Amino acid sequence: MKQDIFQAIADPTRRAILTLIAIQALTPTAMAEKFDMSRQAVSKHIKVLQDCELIKPEQSGREIYYHFNPHKMQEIDHWLAQFRKTWETQFNQLDEVLSTLKKIKE
């Protein structure tokens, strides 16, 4: 069953894994060394991320290296984009109010 991408990134450990492999591809064993958990626990997180296509496996000899999939992160960016303009407008309005208050105090 395909996992929901937002549910996958809701977990702080999975976000940390994504951050790690965004820098360089890692094996599950190398990832487990970075966390206070077993390799099996890390493997469960890897499975969720792989089901969402946020990471991609690549076989290299007997090892499997997991790579970050930046194209899949675009789904998150597209969802956030609908809010970005609203936030920017509200921040600009707040800047104007603060600027006006500062001028009044001077």
Residue 50 to residue 68: CA distance in whole angstroms? 10
Q: Is the pLDDT of residue 2 over 80?
A: no
| Residue labelled with tokens 């977990």 | 11
Identify the pLDDT of residue 54.
95
* Measured CA distances, 23 to 4, 27, 48, 70, 100 (Å): 24, 13, 20, 12, 44
| Residue labelled with tokens 């499975």 | 47
pLDDT in tens, 4-58: 899 999 999 999 999 999 999 999 999 999 998 899 999 999 999 999 999 999 9
What is the share, in percent, of the chain residues with pLDDT greater than 70?
98
The residue-averaged pLDDT of 64-87 equals 90
Write down the CATH number for the domain with range 1-68: 1.10.10.10
Residue 99, classed as helix, strand or coil, is helix
Identify the pLDDT of residue 1.
58
Taking the domains of the chain in order of start, what are their residue ranges?
1-68, 71-106
